[in-house]
Amino acid sequence: MLNIVLANDDGVHAPGINILKETLRSIANVIVVAPMNERSTTGHTLTLDTTVRLEEIADDVYACNGFPADCSLMAIGHLFKNPHSKYYGQKIDLLVSGINRGANLGQDVYYSGTVAAAREAAFHGIPAIAVSSCMDFKNPDKNTLYYYSASNFIKTLVQSNISKAIPQMTLLNINVPWCAEAEILGTKVTRTGLRKYSEDIEERLDFRGRRYYWIGGVYKGFEEFPDSDCQAIEDKMISVAPVKLCDYGRSQMEIIEDLKGFLENIFPR
């Protein structure tokens, strides 16, 4: 069976990663390495100025005090390379980061800890996927069964050998509508879009009269252009966006066309 590492930025106890673990364990060896606490919107941070700790809190489930990219690196550089580890001598076939609580669309991929964990794996030549469930935080429906729409989609991809179809130095950023599987209208290979935010900075005073600030902002929609990840979610379709990390090898358009062919074999129209 494949060795699949799961990471995230919502924390090791988050429902998304645990539902994904439950779903994939029937078809793969699943090892979870995730932050001890929530690390959302931390980008591609690595812990270089203090100690990193790793604790096995259940069989094949590890909590790390670092950031999402640290979690990937601890799996790659420690758990699978340490002669004293039970995984020593094996290889990681796929790293999946998620399932994130909320969308990672448009330029949000550059802030996302979820995407960073996948990107760190891709930097090390490991096929990587970031997957998010697009919960609407303005009108939150907290039905955790909707995570299965994403986890079952990932399971189907794994069973179809997606790990062989992801080019080097490319990750797949997958966003799934926050709804039941039966309500999803299809799957679309997309390009990274552009979301609009008000980017408000709110100034306040503390009890000593000193200024402090909250970075906030309200989501204002997205730029409309063909095949964007934002538009796919608006149309209640699963968005599969290849994110190319280096400018060599196949072009972005070649990768998109190859991926379209791969997905059409699995999900014929």
Q: Could you report how far apart the first and last alpha carbons of the chain are, in Å?
A: 30
CB environment 191-208: b (16+ within 10 A), e (fewer): bbbebeeeeeeeeeeeee
The strand pairing partners of 56, in sequence order, are: 62
Exposure of 31 in the CB half-sphere (CA atoms within 13 A): 27
Q: Is 60 annotated as a binding residue?
A: no
Q: Is 100 annotated as a binding residue?
A: yes
- In degrees, rounded to 5, the angle at the alpha carbon of residue 150 between the alpha carbons of residues 149 and 154 is 120
Q: Is 9 annotated as a binding residue?
A: yes
The strand pairing partners of 177, in sequence order, are: 134
Best CA proximity match to 237, nearest among 262, 269, 209: 269
Binding residues: 9-10, 40, 100
Binding residues for a divalent metal cation: 9-10, 40, 100
